[in-house]
Amino acid sequence: MKYTINEIAKLCNVGKSTVSRVLNKDPKVRSETREKVQRVIDRLGFQPNRSARAMRAGREPVVGVIVSKLDSGSESQTLRAILQALQVEHITPLIVESRFQAEQVRHHFQLFRKRQVNAVILFGFFPLPLEIVREWQGPLVVIARTYPNINSIYYNDEQAITCLMSELYRQGHRRIAYLGIEDSDETTGKLRTQSYLQFCRSHHILPNLTLVELSAESAYRHCAELFTQPVDALVCATGRLALGAFKFSQQSGKVFQMAYVGYNEPLQYMLPNALSFDFGYYQAGLKAVELLMRQLQGESLTEHHLISVEQS
């Protein structure tokens, strides 16, 4: 049932090192011998023992992946890409959830050290203090946030908002409101808000915005504030907020064109006409793994990769 390199060697009447060479595609094996050995390997379905190989190699490649929430549309897209890319590289992913809590991240780092994780991919879909991120010594790629000297894949917040605004403007909307995140969140919050204000300024639109917490409920509760004035269209900083706004529109009967940043399947289904800006989450995952691989291969340069793909 479970063969070892030794048994294969005996069956082939060769030394085990030859079998090893065949397994590792060492060119200096006579093709005749190679085929003989390969045939036996195939016939028996022999698989070299992973642990033994790992031990010999001195390290087993394991990448820790910290997502913020498993059931999040945008993150799942990225995670899917990461999983696939890592599989190709024969790297084992270790997935954990931060649930948007920096403290959890710290905790996971500890676990990773214990489990001898070589590298980490961290989803930063929420404000995360630099000093916590710094706690990870070793290869690291952060997604959706940037820090000095730390590799990252981040999204073009300005482009996302500007793009949505332009489209709404093109459609003829002029009273465009904005539901955003508080400035304490540098990227999803501050940056996007500023882009909104910037666009308003350059297009002579009177800003009408409210900043809330990153939850549908908070968005829902504060949405009414925007509608003390007439509103044609509403831009939401995230899909989560858009869900709250959608509920508001249901309850209040207000009709407006919806636009949001992110990928949210149920919302996309319920509101097919809404504008959504997908950053290219899948691409981001692939890129993250690529960056990580480079770090693992010793290149220690820092890169900040901008991902931006428009959709819908």
Partner DNA sequence: CTGAAAGCGCTAACAC
Partner DNA sequence: GTGTTAGCGCTTTCAG
Kindly list the residues in this chain that would bind DNA in the complex (CB under 7 A). Answer: 4-6, 13-18, 20-21, 23-24, 28-30, 32-34, 48-49, 52-53, 55-58
Q: 42-79 burial by CB neighbour count: b if 16+ within 10 A, else e?
A: eeeebeeeeeeeeeeeeeebbbbbbbbbeebbbbbbbb
16 versus 221: smaller Cβ distance to DNA:
16
Contact 246, 269 (CB under 8 A): no
Residue 273 binding partner per list its own copies, DNA, none, with a CB distance cut-off of 5 to 8 Å that depends on partner kind: none
Closest CB 109 distance from DNA, rounded Å: 21
Integer-rounded Cα radius of gyration of the chain: 25
Q: Look-up: residue for tokens 């800006």?
A: 277
Helices 239-252 and 216-226 sit at what angle, rounded to 10 degrees?
50
* Distance in Å, CB of 52 to its own copies, minimum: 5
Q: Which residues bind to its own copies, rule: CB under 8 A?
A: 45, 47, 49-52, 54-55, 59-60, 70-73, 75-77, 79-80, 83, 87, 92-97, 111, 113-116, 216-217, 243, 246-247, 250, 264-267, 269-270
Compute the least distance from the CB of residue 72 to its own copies, in Å: 7
Query: Which residues does 39 contact at the CB level (< 8 Å), separation at least 6?
Result: none
192 binds, among DNA, its own copies, none (CB under 5 to 8 A by kind): none
Q: How far is the CB of 40 from its own copies (least distance, A)?
A: 17
The item of its own copies, DNA, none sharing an interface with residue 256, based on CB under 5 to 8 Å by kind, is none
In 148-191, which residue ranges form alpha helices assigned H by DSSP? 157-170
